[in-house]
Amino acid sequence: MLRTLHVRRLGRVEYEDGLAAQKMLVEARAAGRVPDTLLLLEHPRVITLGRGAKETNLLLPREQLQAKGYEVYETDRGGDVTYHGPGQIVGYPILDLKPDRKDVRKYVASVEEVMIRVAASYGIRSERVQGRVGIWTPAGKLGAIGVHISRWITSHGFAFNVRTDLNDFAAIVPCGISGASVASLESLCGVAPPMAEVEQRFAVAAASVWESEAFEVPHELRTISVVIRRDDGRVLLMKRKTERGGFWQILTGRIEPGESPLQTAAREIHEETGFSPRLEEVRELNYVHSFALGNGFAQETAFTVTVQGEPRLSDEHDEHRWCTVEEALELLPFAGLKRAVKLAG
């Protein structure tokens, strides 16, 4: 039976947003609202601990890890400690294994097979190792696996090193295996292929292994966020009206047809705050990320601008305040908005 497999190539996703996206899709898959889905993405530097993780496999105290730029999360996936970061393709298959694929070992082996085929397409021989999960080369582990299955619907998945900074693994005992080294396509091939090319090969391999017809699904929405700052470094936060959620946020808005992200940012700044900066004063933060929104996904581009004076709020917000970066990070509810504020400095 040929199944349908939706493939979503999301680019950068905050780890917290990745967890929320999986939860949304697992519920939608259980209700039959979406077919099997494969998310392909990159996370910022993050260390995750599976259900079987030992704290001793963190080689630095959590406070030091966070000071060095690692986020640390405990998760409900299987496995021990692993690392995600830029240059690594993370795959989250959301598959319904009912009625004929209800075998955990076979499912894990199928995920390994997907990675083995992608590695082979670059001339790299990788294999399974008895008693270890993932795929291995003589130079080290190329791909890690940690899955969660509930009601026979899968989540979490695999991490495949393409151009990952392998030095980042020095903060942990990868997968809890002392003395095991790690490898990447770049370290094995001498040059890293484009991430988009590797993602496409994952889509092809996944469709073949899981006997599916793959369809790439684009983002349903494109948005912007703007960190509005004063000369003293304080950041403008606005509180949405209760009927609109009642939470604090930086400026956000939807990109309309025919607009560039920069044009949207300038328009939204004026409409929502009354400020009218010149286009050249609105600076892109080189931060584009994706997150789940409703039953779909949005891709957001972040900007910053420095202004003088007080805002004139639209009917979307009923309160504002100028916050230090630390105060803003405490009040903001969403990981992407927090990251934008940190990048704006």
Backbone angles phi, psi at 15, to 5 degrees: -60, -45
User: Is 175 an annotated catalytic residue?
Assistant: yes
CA dihedral 136, 141, 143, 144 (to 10 degrees): 110
Q: Annotated catalytic residue: which of 34, 175, 337, 340? A: 175
d(CA 312, CA 228): 13
Contact yes or no for 43/85 (Cβ under 8 A): yes
d(CA 41, CA 39): 6
d(CA 180, CA 118): 22
Sign of the dihedral defined by the CA atoms of residues 12, 331, 19, 223, in that order: negative
* Closest to 117 (Cα-Cα) out of 84, 75, 85, 160: 160
d(CA 26, CA 36): 10
Active site residues: 175
